[in-house]
Structure 1
Amino acid sequence: MKLKYEWRKQEKEIYLPKKTPQQINIPKYNYLILSGKGNPNSELFAQQTAALYAVSYHFRMDIKKGTLGGEPMEYVVYPLEGIWTTGDGSRGETLNKEALEYKLMIRQPSCITQENLQASLEKLARKKPNPHYEMLALKEYEEGSSVQMLHVGSYDDELDSFKKMDAYLEEHQLARMNIMDRYIHREIYLSDPRKVAPEKLKTVLRYQVEQEGGTDITN
């Protein structure tokens, strides 16, 4: 079967931005989501990420086979995303990774339902056990007005890119908003850190924004 959908080619504006900040509107999408706390370099984080990918690839195979009721279709699984804050208020150069709080997510086709999720979890629990399956949730989320840019380099060097985004917000009279219960920014991971050198990692950084003095547009 030929590849029918590749987000890198068909959604470049959303997933492959420039290396300078730009404003964009992000519509409502379907996400598989998992919440957690702690250092992203931990084994716990790796297990949680593995749970998200296991279900996402299970959905992909079901859709490719047409077992979910629609026409068979092949697509590339969307990249891992995370929205981040800290429980102790640390930021930037004083960031305490042990205090990080996050929601990890992978976007899913709009046809995926809660029933599909439950069926997938039951199958995977038998074939590929993971203690974090029960933490997964399927939710729609509309990010709306946002500012984003592509960061190339180590995750530890993201502060330089965030400074550029903050300057863009000030220049355009925009205010950064908390998203999804006070999480303050989103990261989309386009590279696999197990295979790509730190200085070559590609990550989309994104703020949800509003015009200064405007109305809250979060859902």
Structure 2
Amino acid sequence: MAFDFKKEYKEFYMPKNKPEIVTVPKANYIAVRGKGNPNEEGGAYQQAISILYAVAYTLKMSYKTDYKIDGFFEYVVPPLEGFWWQDNVDGVDYSNKDTFNWVSVIRLPEFITKHDFDWAVETATKKKKLDCSSAEFLTIDEGLCVQIMHLGPFDDEPATVEIMNAYLEQNGYANDMNDKRLHHEIYLSDARKVAPEKWKTVIRHPIKKK
């Protein structure tokens, strides 16, 4: 059986539909940064997703090539994730998607090194005929966070965030979002195949004790 991050780390990928406090360990990611509306057809966000998956699957299938990764074992490519913010906005203004800044990421297994990553970017660029040079090897240490499973369309997230905020207030915590600690989403549903009311999205916010 291929290693599946969602199953092995359920506490980070499969939270309940009520808020919970977690300490998220440091991990490495494939990342692409950008700006603009994620729904724009053929826009920067959709291009970024193509690059992420091109690099991710090049690494996943590397064992079938001449390139050997030390310590490699077969694994399921983890779900797409995103860190989001808007300049001069506290939280997220879902009504103004054109002003989004984002870092889209896919988690990497621990055995993938920067050298392996660089090989995958170069290989994916050649084989997929897709410029993957905007992909970066990014280490993120989220630390103390609150998270919840949001069920439904992305535009309904504010109500779920309000539940998270109320939980923090009741339990002596406060949001700790800044230019380094950001609104974080993990996408567990394929939006092309699943009805919006059934979309599952982990929402995670950085927090601190009051």
> Under a length normalisation based on structure 1, what TM-score does the superposition of the two structures give?
0.88
18-27 or 135-144, larger mean C-alpha shift: 135-144
- Structure 1 Cα separation of the partners of residues 63 and 27 of structure 2: 17
- Structure 2 Cα separation of the partners of residues 66 and 176 of structure 1: 47
Coordinate RMSD, CA, aligned? 1.9
Q: Structure 1 residues 78, 94: closer, same or farther in 2, change over 3 A?
A: closer
Q: Is the 8 A contact 1:32 1:139 kept in 2?
A: yes
- Structure 1 Cα separation of the partners of residues 35 and 104 of structure 2: 10
**Equivalent residue number for residue 199 of structure 2:** 201
Structure 1 residue 65 displacement after superposition: 6.4
**Equivalent residue number for residue 50 of structure 2:** 50
**Equivalent residue number for residue 116 of structure 2:** 116
**Equivalent residue number for residue 4 of structure 2:** 6
Structure 2: where are the runs of 5+ without partners? none
2:184 to 169, 183, 186: 186
**Equivalent residue number for residue 125 of structure 2:** 125
- Structure 2 Cα separation of the partners of residues 155 and 126 of structure 1: 35
**Equivalent residue number for residue 162 of structure 1:** 161
SS at match of 1:70: coil
**Equivalent residue number for residue 215 of structure 1:** none
Structure 1 residue 66 displacement after superposition: 8.6
SS at match of 2:47: helix
Matches within 5 A, 1:61-100: 61-63=61-63, 67-87=67-87, 89=89, 95-100=95-100
Q: Structure 1 residues 148, 91: closer, same or farther in 2, change over 3 A?
A: closer
Q: Structure 1 residues 4, 93: closer, same or farther in 2, change over 3 A?
A: closer
Query: Letter of the aligned partner of 2:15 in structure 1?
Result: P
182-191 or 13-22, larger mean C-alpha shift: 182-191
**Equivalent residue number for residue 59 of structure 2:** 59
Runs of 4+ in 1 over 4 A off after TM superposition: 63-66, 90-94
Q: Structure 1 residues 123, 114: closer, same or farther in 2, change over 3 A?
A: same
**Equivalent residue number for residue 175 of structure 1:** 174
90-99 or 159-168, larger mean C-alpha shift: 90-99
- Structure 1 Cα separation of the partners of residues 208 and 62 of structure 2: 39
Structure 1: where are the runs of 5+ without partners? 213-219
1:113-137, Cα deviation, whole Å (9 max, x unpaired): 2211221122211211224x11111
SS at match of 2:3: coil
Structure 1 residue 160 displacement after superposition: 0.9
- Structure 2 Cα separation of the partners of residues 94 and 46 of structure 1: 18
> Under a length normalisation based on structure 2, what TM-score does the superposition of the two structures give?
0.91
Structure 1 residue 111 displacement after superposition: 1.4
1:25 to 16, 23, 26: 23
- Structure 2 Cα separation of the partners of residues 196 and 176 of structure 1: 31
Structure 1 residue 94 displacement after superposition: 6.3
